[in-house]
Structure 1
């Protein structure tokens, strides 16, 4: 449906050095906040907008997709793009960075229509779900004849082939589809690995980062394996500490590309050192590559799996960060044939947990280029939201430090003096903002020297994030006083 161009909406050419898309998004965002267009009102069609702004239609489409991801507009397939409900007015609006330090914060009330803004880390934007690439993948999968047999224990051949292609293109890891196993996400992958490693004995000991991914420790404990804490140095696991650890270790679980939750990157020299340790210890390196698709200007480092020539590295990946955890789908790259066979045998006994139709949809989504295009679109959204986090926190330094913003979907704010993270978290919850204290990622026996909170900026809309960041900044100002 074609919608006319509003007479009071003025779009001018981008100044030199500014991209046409970024300039158009900025102008439309300001027009919406200024009330030039009202809730529910149709936006100009992409063709009309492109003609008025003197840009390509593709640039207009990208601009609308970015605004939709930020929560300013809603794209209705087959009908057009419409102004979202509940946009605040630009008039009297206080910027996040310059909000007065003595302004009084009050909890959101139900009468204002506000609900909890959840900045818990790990949740991505799910705007792809209404996109034509995704709906087309579902139509194609649903039109195919359903097999009469259960899905293969290792996963569908087509999805494994697409995952192998993705790993080669996105991470520089050359692999064969036969080396890929489909899982129901990271926790399922770690659990399957524990079963596969039981040939080493029933009392498995596996090194993990401290602080690190709490869910991995929980899975190990539930399955009778022993997680062993190894401290960090310069943002990544201390490989010297790992090498000097007393007692045999069967494996190590790492997040080398974007340490969770502090966000450091393991240097190449340390990646080679962990491979040497694994060779000398006859251990397995489990590389959790959970959000490496999102790099915000930082040059990518080679995956440990790409440096491995002996099949000692198992790479864990998931669609939970790139698409949505509701799919419950991920993968393992297992080059060791004996370990892989044991894991497939376990999977054959327990059953493949990922629905066959989900596997077909994902395979088609990747085959058609839908995943690649989605990653391009959503990376722009995340870059914009990352900039909001930086603008909010830059003047809180040096008392408050910001970490983890080189990539991924979360940021960690730390401080060493004053109020505890639990107190900050409680204050923010009262203000209807949910964050996670950094202490939750440490082993219970360890008390971190620094306080901190971890916030996720992938799932909230731009408007929700702006509101939450203003509340966070105001509360953290107490640390400076």
Structure 2
């Protein structure tokens, strides 16, 4: 039956349904129809992802939703199984289950245009493509025979050294190149951290609300996520200690919280570091959007306060350069270098050496610093365009929250009535890449709102037209 199921599990990139959602529905249907029996073992995440030609995170998201609904059970390293105690299938299989929030719909429409409000995209029109192409071309021309051999599994030395210099000058982080590990994107970075430091059943603090991809990744790995509420001072450390004092890790965005945009207060930073030291726990700091600050210098990272070696610092070039690089980096404490070196040899880096060497040149030649400096006023202007358009057209429905940086805007609904999910879904149907704040929440509901990217509005009229389309959703499509 498993072979028959796999032979019919085909995905369609042309459907409006996200790929993880297609996997979720097909597995659920196979269970309901008896093609997958209770107690049968499913393919591993890696194996199914390879068979289907999709990213591991896509399969992990589908499995995580099925586990949450009781259709599957994760048994850690033993694999994922159809639950022996299945839900009442005749009742639950009929309605379409609510999907997990995706990070974004497809980045490109069929006509090659990006949908308005796309999250997670920097201003791609402002990226110095000609300069980048010259740097890549130079790397191709000057490459040696040795550059064609197997690359280092923890990243090219020149890129790791460049990252060390950048972090020292711009983020106040003192580290050595051997502490830096290059990974193929944030999901791969999380997978590296989980596989190196955690075991199934470990409690892990996660921000609530927080980045939607993080929760299913930890669940799929067999961890027990603990939703810790976020308020105007950032993650509530006292609430985390009360809920799970023995957690093995806290994962958070302390400098610019995603999605609320608040910063972790100094008192809570010190409380978090003290908890980690006392409990021998780890802190994974995602320095989300830290470089994109409109006023003043970026806030110092939590890692710069770490004196006990408990903080792992995660950065990515997706927001500062462009997402297609699929390049992130992790700075680990000195005491973890050997452990992460071992896991890197098992997993590899995953980033093409050509791109690594090009990014190193981009940093070392000063282009990275100049690019960041140029982008800050651009983002400030484009956010103002969107905020002003919302104020002019939708002030009775939406209130824009203040923020000191970042490339996404949060507009809270003035009257919360379960609308943000419905509005986001209708927006997707109309080609607007909206996301509901409710979909970023785990266990602590707060005010509803819409998350919108603004980085690729190249002129004021672009923002005004997109908001006019959004306004029609509030007016019943008229």
Unaligned runs of 5+ in 2: 1-110
TM-score (norm 1): 0.70
Counterparts of residues 64-143 of structure 1 (less than 5 Å): 117-127=115-125, 131-143=129-141
Structure-2 change in CA distance of 1:251 and 1:277 (3 Å): same
Matched residue of 1:381: which SS? helix
Q: Which residue of 2 aligns with 1:354?
A: 351
Of structures 1 and 2, the one scoring higher in RCO (CA 8 A, sep 6+) is: 1
- Rounded to whole Å, the distance in 1 between the matches of 2:132 and 2:365 is 10
Q: Which residue of 2 aligns with 1:332?
A: 330
Structure-2 change in CA distance of 1:476 and 1:268 (3 Å): farther
2:456 to 434, 455, 459: 459
Contact 1:402 1:411 in 2 (8 A): yes
Q: Per-residue displacement from partner, 1:378-424 (whole Å, max 9, x unpaired)? A: 22221110111221234655863323632110011112434601232
Q: Which residue of 2 aligns with 1:323?
A: 321
Q: Which residue of 1 aligns with 2:31?
A: none
Structure-2 change in CA distance of 1:155 and 1:426 (3 Å): closer
Counterparts of residues 59-458 of structure 1 (less than 5 Å): 117-127=115-125, 131-143=129-141, 144-146=143-145, 147-198=147-198, 201-234=199-232, 236-246=234-244, 248-297=246-295, 300-337=298-335, 339-394=336-391, 400-403=398-401, 405-415=403-413, 416-418=415-417, 420-429=419-428, 431-443=430-442, 446=443, 448-458=445-455
- Rounded to whole Å, the distance in 2 between the matches of 1:477 and 1:165 is 52
Structure-2 change in CA distance of 1:258 and 1:438 (3 Å): same
Measure how far apart 1:182 and its partner are: 0.8
Matched residue of 1:244: which SS? helix
Structure-2 change in CA distance of 1:336 and 1:409 (3 Å): same
- Rounded to whole Å, the distance in 2 between the matches of 1:253 and 1:128 is 31
Q: Per-residue displacement from partner, 1:137-189 (whole Å, max 9, x unpaired)? A: 11221122142431111111100011111111221112212211111121111
Measure how far apart 1:368 and its partner are: 1.1
Measure how far apart 1:118 and its partner are: 3.4
Structure-2 change in CA distance of 1:154 and 1:122 (3 Å): same
Unaligned runs of 5+ in 1: 1-112
Measure how far apart 1:432 and its partner are: 3.3
Measure how far apart 1:114 and its partner are: 11
Structure-2 change in CA distance of 1:397 and 1:119 (3 Å): closer
Measure how far apart 1:431 and its partner are: 4.3
- Rounded to whole Å, the distance in 1 between the matches of 2:419 and 2:202 is 36
Matched residue of 1:314: which SS? strand
Q: Per-residue displacement from partner, 1:334-358 (whole Å, max 9, x unpaired)? A: 1232x22212211111222111111
- Alignment root-mean-square deviation, CA: 2.4
Structure-2 change in CA distance of 1:398 and 1:349 (3 Å): same
Matched residue of 1:214: which SS? coil
Contact 2:229 2:444 in 1 (8 A): no
Contact 1:435 1:453 in 2 (8 A): yes
The alignment covers a number of residue pairs equal to 361
Contact 1:185 1:317 in 2 (8 A): no
Which aligned segments of 4 or more residues in structure 1 are displaced greater than 6 angstroms? Answer: 113-116
The structure number with the bigger radius of gyration is 1
- Rounded to whole Å, the distance in 1 between the matches of 2:250 and 2:130 is 41
